[in-house]
Structures are given as C-alpha cells and as structure tokens.
Amino acid sequence: MLRVGVIGTSWWADRAHIPGLKTIPGVEIEAISGRNPERLKIIADKYEIPGRYTDYHDLLKSDKIQAVCIVTPNYLHYPITMEALSRRKHVLCEKPLAVSFYQAKEMYDKVKEVGVRHMVPFTWRFVPAAMRMKELIDEGYIGRVYHIEARYLAGWLSNPDIPASQRTQKKIAGTGALSDTGSHLIDFIRWTAGDFKAVVADMAIFIDERKEEMTGKMVKVDIDDSTIFMAKLTNEAQAVIHVSRVAKTRENYINVEISGEDGTLIFELEVEGEDWAIGKLYGSQKDDVKPQPLPIPERLLKNYEEAKSNLTGRFLFAKIMQAFKEGIESGREPVPNFYDGMKVQEVMQAIEDSSVKRKWIEL
C-alpha cells in the first residue's frame, strides 16, 4: 500500500488530486494538510482522510507517509518540496514547479541527490487526443517539424470586478497567464516538437487594478494578463504562442497546430460539453486536403465512461497518479517529472527576461 499525504485543500485538490488518488488501487491517502481548519475538516471528512494537520511540517514528519502531493500556491512549492525531499518522500508537485528557474534547478538537483521519484502534473499530456498526436509525430506523420502555432485562452479574469487573489500577485504566483496556462503549452511543445533554443516575448497587463476581497481596497496587479512570444526550437522549428486569462467568453481553450515536411496535426480542446476530456485531433498529409478529424484509439479511452462524474480527477488525474505510483514501485522515473518542470521554468524565465529587455533571449 502506498500511503500519500496531500498538502493543500484548494478547489484543485478537491477536484483533481484527491479524486485521482482515490481512483487508484493500492493507494491510501493517509493525511492532509491545510491552513484553514474549517476547510481542512470539510475536505478530510468528504474523503475520509484520517490524518489532519494545519501545519504541513507536521505532516512531513510522519513516518507513515511515503509520498506527498503538493497542491499549494506557487511560492510554497519550493520550501515544501525541499523539506519533503530532505525526509526522502516521493513528491508530486503542481505546476509551475517553482517561481523561478533557480528554485526549480535546486529542486531538480535535490531530487537527483536524494534518489526518490518525482512528477509534475502537466495535465494535457494525458488527454487521449494529445496522446495520439504525440504517437503520430513519433511515427513520422508530419516528418521534420517546420513550425508550431499554439494558443491557450481563458477568460476568467476578463471581468475587472473579479477580486485580486493569490493568482494575481507576483510574490505568490511568480507570473500570471504565463505560469498558469503558458507552462502547459511550453511543456506540450517540448513533449511533441522539441526543446526551446531562444525566445522573444511581450507580457501585458490590461486590468492593472483589482479590489482586495477582504479590505475592499484597490491593489495593483503586477503579473501578466496575457503573454505572446515567438520561439526557435533546437531543431530550428519556429513557434508562435499566445496565452491569456482575459480572453472573454473562453473558459479553457487550447489549440496547437504543428506542421512539418510531410503533414499537419492539430490538437484542440475546450472545457465544455460532456466529452471535452477526450479532446479533438485533426490531420492531413495531402497537399490538396485540409486537416480532417482523426480517430482516437479505444485503448486511450480506458475507464473513460466510468469517470464521467469527474473527468478531471477520475480520468485525467487518475492517469497521472497511476504513473506516479508505477514510478515509485518500479524505480523508473515517471513523466513528466522535475526535469520537465525545470526546463519549462527555464523557458518562462527567458520569456520574462525578454519582455523586460525587449530582445531575443538564448536559452
């Protein structure tokens, strides 16, 4: 039995991490930690979690716990992970791995030194249409990659009356749209098309003040609402990427088009409707035929019907947690892991630097 501790009681822990863990045979959630005692009790009671801590240090001291899932604000990822690793716990840490490349590198160096398993849940890798896209690219469907156009558009901050939160403050989140959604696209492109070589970027804040919910005071927003950047990959492919949290009417919309010498593939996903978690895949290898819908093999849809009550947790995160468990049991590194998280952080750091310096930044 793999005994896991969950650090964080956010909506995302409730929707994704905990349901994912509860789906996997041979996994038991031994304890949970959260700073708000009332919220802690609600979540622990809901999932019948016996151990309850308002201080994560106490959870990490428990010898019963072999692995932890860190579902906290971004700025806490580094200190919690480093303490967990010092106690030789296996760690699954939410993205972005840290708030700077330097922190992420320390985390990766430490996990190599300690020798435990580690993972970063870049969710969209586990969508069936995305998995099929990766398979086709690896099989040579598009041949040499020429260029990528990618968008991740969300609109939850397009209303200026939405209050300030931990996700709109640099000291807590690091960056805004870039780390929130851009980290996913950077990882997706690394996974499917190749590593990044250089970037040039522009980061924009369109709604520069928001009301603080507790005090009613207007506070400055100091992280990006929208980021757009161009990139050159190590294989000389070009990429154009746009991420936004102020794309009005969009909830979660992803579109990645990868073209090469032999064809084009398009991955598309929007979080709406019953079957959103399958995603959509289009492709063509013929000059006179536009990309057409491509079938998703049944083997990639295992357990889909049973998980429809919560596709995020019981389908996508179930796959993530299963990979984490199998990595721990086999001693092989699950993917994506801290190396991938560090490489994404390196690209995001270069994007920030480029936006400030107004020039191309080599990685």
Task: State pLDDT tens for residues 306-352.
Answer: 999 999 999 999 999 999 999 999 999 999 999 999 999 999 999 99
**Secondary structure class of 318 (helix, strand, coil):** helix
Distances (CA, A) of 324 to 14, 118, 194, 319: 18, 8, 24, 9
- Burial tier of 25 (Cβ tally within 10 Å: 0-12, 13-18, 19+): exposed
Tens digits of residue pLDDT in 232-278 = 999 999 999 999 999 999 999 999 999 999 999 999 999 988 899 99
Scored b (16 or more CB within 10 A) or e, 45-66 reads eebebebbbeebeebbebeebb
Q: Indicate the DSSP class of residue 295.
A: P
Q: How far is 325 from 355, CA to CA, in rounded Å?
A: 39
Q: Is 84 in contact with 107 (CB distance < 8 Å)?
A: no
Q: How far is 344 from 273, CA to CA, in rounded Å?
A: 30
DSSP string, 238-291: EEEEEEES--TT-SSEEEEEEEESS-EEEEEEES-STTGGG-EEEEE-STTS--
pLDDT on residue 48: 98
User: Phi and psi of 147, rounded to 5°?
Assistant: -155, 160
* Four-CA torsion 308, 17, 134, 306, nearest 10 degrees: -20
Q: How far is 340 from 122, CA to CA, in rounded Å?
A: 9
Q: How far is 318 from 313, CA to CA, in rounded Å?
A: 6
Low-confidence ranges of the chain (pLDDT < 50): none
Q: How far is 208 from 229, CA to CA, in rounded Å?
A: 21
pLDDT on residue 179: 97
Tokens, residue 333? 């590194």
Q: How far is 291 from 268, CA to CA, in rounded Å?
A: 12
Other C-beta atoms lying within 10 Å of the C-beta of residue 257:
17
Q: Indicate the DSSP class of residue 64.
A: T
Q: How far is 340 from 348, CA to CA, in rounded Å?
A: 12
For residue 340, the surrounding DSSP H or E stretch is: helix 338-357
**Secondary structure class of 149 (helix, strand, coil):** strand
